[in-house]
Every structure is written in structure tokens, then in C-alpha cells.
Amino acid sequence: MMYDADRQVLVEYRVSQAEQSILEVEKLIEFDLLNIAVNRIYYGMFYCLNALAIQDEYQSSKHLQLMGWFNQTYIKTGVIDVKYGRILRDAYKNRSDGDYAPFIVFGKEDVAAMFHGMKDFVETVCSLIRKRYQL
């Protein structure tokens, strides 16, 4: 079990990673590194989701389990709008396709739309985290 102060430090670190990922994705899109941008879009959301899970004392080493927990705990209960579940699921699928499927090429406009969803997700989830810790 993690002490509350240690948990808060780790939550803040994960939030910082999520916010840093936004800056990284901006540069990746600017330089047309779109498949890498898609990867970072998902991981930016994952870091934020991970911070929320740490805050709630939920642990999982599996991405899909973490997403399932998020859907059960936050989406189905109405704490967070259902659109954020879709944004996360789509980002996970796009990241998986980009990383593992052959011949996947993402268009700049599509990646820009994904990036917009990422920024919205990170802002919404990290705002919830900050309200709890009053960061």
C-alpha cells in the first residue's frame, strides 16, 4: 500500500507526463511523424488514466483492464461523459493498428482530429484529478 503523499507525487508525475505528451504530439504532427503521433496520443491519455487509477488505488498491468475499470467506474456512472470512453477506445485501437498492423498510414487531418480528442480527454480527466487533490 502506498502512502498518500507518495501516491500524490506519482499522480502528479503521471499528469505531467500526459501534459508533456500534448507538446510532443504537436511537434510530431508538425514534422509529419504521424504514426508516432498516434502512439503518443494514446499514451498521453493512458498516463492521465493511470493517474486517475493511482488516485483511486486501482492497479492493473493490462491496458484493456484499466480501460474497463475506467468505463465501469466513471463512464457508466455518469461521472465522465460517454464520449471520453469512445475517444480512449479509438485511441487504443489506432495505436495498436499503427504499432502492429502492416501498411497502416494515418492522414494528417485524421491525426489532428485524434489529437483534438486527446487534448479534450486529458483536460477533462486531469481536471477531475486536480479537483480531488486541489493541485
* Residue boundaries of the structural domains of the chain: 4-133
pLDDT at 63: 96
**Confidence class for position 71, pLDDT limits 50, 70, 90:** very high
DSSP string of 66-95?
HHHHHIIIIITTTSS-HHHHHHHHHHHHHH
**CATH number for the 4-133 domain, one of 1.20.120.330, 3.30.450.40, 3.40.50.2300, 3.30.565.10?**
1.20.120.330
| pTM of the model as a whole | 0.93
| Residue among 126, 64, 116, 62 nearest 92 (CA) | 64
User: For the chain, what is the mean pLDDT?
Assistant: 95
- How confident is the model over 36-54, as pLDDT tens digits? 999 999 999 999 999 999 9
**Confidence class for position 135, pLDDT limits 50, 70, 90:** low
Rounded Cα gap, residues 90 and 83, in angstroms: 11
The arithmetic mean of pLDDT across residues 25-36, rounded, is: 97
